[in-house]
Structure 1
Amino acid sequence: MQLTKEEYSKMYEQEGTKTKWWVTFPKAFFIGGGICVLGQGLTDLYGYLGADSKAASTLATVTLIFLSALLTSLGLYHKLARHAGAGTLVPVTGFANSVAAPAVEFRSEGYITGLGAKIFIISGPVILYGILASVLAGVYFYFR
């Protein structure tokens, strides 16, 4: 299907939503900030329970990843993201959602062709280029 620029612009105007930035910006800020406050609260809680600072940070990160994947599988993360927008892209929770969402979407196709093949469809390029960049940086600093 070939569209002209005028046809595309007309379709965009009909279907595009008009966002009210004065509403969406504060929502993203407060919900994203709330996720960060939750992470800090978990870190403090694990520290209070006896974990050293490194272990407490790791436990908080794992808890946030678990909660993000759980909310994604229950269909609640998407509802939160509709209100928070970019506020839910806090790195750990957003990445966990990007891994869990395709797994949930394609689970009906089976464990191998559905879940196994599609789980990294969104986050795969991030992982690939992250590893590639770290290898190149390592080689650069090794020979520097």
Structure 2
Amino acid sequence: MKEQQYNTLKDQISPPTPYALNLLKAFVVGGLICVIGQGISLFYMIFFDFTERTVGNPTVATMIFIAMILTGLGQYRKLGQFAGAGSAVPVTGFGNAVISAAIEHKSEGLVLGVGGNMFKLAGSVILFGVVSAFFVTLIKLILVSVGVASW
């Protein structure tokens, strides 16, 4: 079978991809995750006296923790199947990636299985986050030194 015949047959058999619906679901779910994060931030600011400058870290930690719990219970997978990138792009996707790898390799033991595979995907995220933060800080330091920006 030639490539053109194969592509024609594939197009006839495969159902069309609902791009607009997928985009809408990802947008709504990703936005809902962000609204939940904003609610957690407000909760911490009201009940624990955090400021807008200091509330970020506990909010991110809480969102990652929630995603890890949902992944362990098997619920985050359902959310990911429904929302696609809408559940993977926010910080909750990071928590899901870490715990998914740990759960997948738990049969290999705690050290070589869970510990060795837990940060395979997340390790690159951490690495590029730290490196990009370094370069952004370096650029800002240069701009402050020449008087273009201020702290």
Cα 1:66–1:20, aligned 2, differ >3 Å: closer, same or farther?
same
> In percent, how many aligned pairs have the same letter?
36
Matched positions, count: 140
- Are the counterparts in 1 of residues 33 and 90 from structure 2 also a CA contact under 8 Å? no
Q: Is this contact kept in 2: 1:68–1:93, CA < 8 A?
A: yes
Partner of 2:27: 29
Cα drift, residue 44 of structure 1: 0.9
Task: Answer with 1 or 2: which has the greater Rg.
Answer: 2
How does 1:55-70 map onto structure 2 within 5 Å? Answer: 55-70=54-69
Inter-partner Cα distance in structure 2 for 1:114 and 1:28: 32
Provide the alpha-carbon RMSD of the alignment. Answer: 3.1
Q: CA deviation at 1:133?
A: 4.4
1:96 aligned partner: 95
The partner residue of 2:39 within 33, 41, 44 is: 41
For residues 136 and 27 of structure 1, the distance between their equivalents in structure 2, rounded to whole angstroms, comes to 34
After superposition, the Cα gap between the structure-2 partners of 1:31 and 1:139, relative to the gap in structure 1 and judged at 3 Å, is closer
* Larger displacement relative to structure 2 (130-139 or 34-43): 130-139
Query: Could you say if the C-alpha distance between residues 58 and 82 of structure 1 is closer, same or farther in structure 2, counting changes exceeding 3 Å?
Result: same
The answer to whether the 8 A contact 1:35-1:90 is kept is no
Q: TM-score, normalised by structure 2?
A: 0.74
TM-score, scaled relative to structure 1: 0.78
Map Cα deviations across residues 60-100 of structure 1 (whole Å, 9 max, x no partner).
Answer: 22110100111111111111010111101233111111111
Q: Spell out the pairing of 1:114-125 with structure 2 (5 A cutoff).
A: 114-125=113-124
Unaligned runs of 5+ in 1: none
Question: Which segment is superposed worse, 74-83 or 49-58?
Answer: 49-58
Give, as a single letter, the amino acid of the residue that structure 1 aligns with 2:35. Answer: V
Deviation at 1:19, TM superposition (A): 2.3
Residues 74 and 13 of structure 1: CA distance in aligned 2, closer, same or farther (over 3 Å): farther
- Note the C-alpha offset of 1:139: 6.8
